[in-house]
């Protein structure tokens, strides 16, 4: 980084205040950014939505529903699990994934938007 703000009109008080706000919330930006980047993938967003709707699903089912390979699904599930967004329950050789409560506060509004937009297009 070479450039910095040159212009005389710059409000240094405002800039300093903004820098402090960022610093005070740095942990939030990191954490929320990670969750949003996980949800910001169309496949993973679908997986999360399906888990909300169906309570739990296995990689095999998801592969079938999403029409994509099992390893591809498995790798998405791994990311979601690493991000503490979903959890696994083993039953025989089947592994059932479900949403964790921890981040539902952030995710629920998304599911709501998805369902609302659908009902909106239905009524129009």
Tokens of 49: 């939505």
Residue from the set 8, 13, 27, 101 that interacts with a second copy by CB under 8 A: 27
Candidate residues 47, 76, 80, 103; the one interacting with DNA per rule CB under 7 A: 76
Q: Which does 95 bind (CB under 5 to 8 A by kind): DNA, a second copy, none?
A: DNA
Q: Which helix (H) or strand (E) holds 96?
A: strand 94-99
CA angle, corner 105, sides to 33 and 73, nearest 5?
65
Contacts 24+ apart (CB under 8 A), 115-120: none
The CB-of-46 to a second copy minimum distance in angstroms stands at 6
Query: Got the DSSP string for 28-60?
Result: HHHHHHHHHHHHTSHHHHHHHHHHHHHS-B-HH
The site partner of 123 among a second copy, DNA, none (C-beta below 5 to 8 Å per kind) is: none
Q: Does residue 90 bind a second copy (CB under 8 A)?
A: no
- The footprint of a second copy (CB under 8 A) covers 1-7, 9-11, 14-15, 18-19, 21-22, 24-25, 27-42, 45-46, 49-50, 53-54, 57, 60-61, 63-70, 94, 105-106, 109-110, 113-115, 117-118, 121
């Amino acid at each position: 980084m070479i450039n910095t703000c040159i212009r005389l009109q710059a409000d240094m008080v405002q800039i300093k205040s903004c820098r402090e706000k960022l610093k005070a919330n740095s942990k939030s930006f990191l954490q929320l950014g990670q969750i949003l980047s996980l949800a910001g993938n169309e496949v993973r967003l679908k997986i999360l939505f399906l888990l909300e709707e169906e309570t739990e699903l296995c990689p095999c089912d998801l592969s079938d529903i999403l029409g994509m390979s099992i390893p591809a699904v498995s790798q998405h599930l791994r990311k979601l699990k690493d991000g503490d967004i979903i959890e696994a329950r083993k039953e025989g050789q089947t592994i059932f994934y479900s949403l964790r409560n921890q981040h539902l506060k952030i995710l629920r509004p998304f599911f709501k938007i998805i369902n609302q937009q659908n009902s909106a297009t239905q009524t129009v």
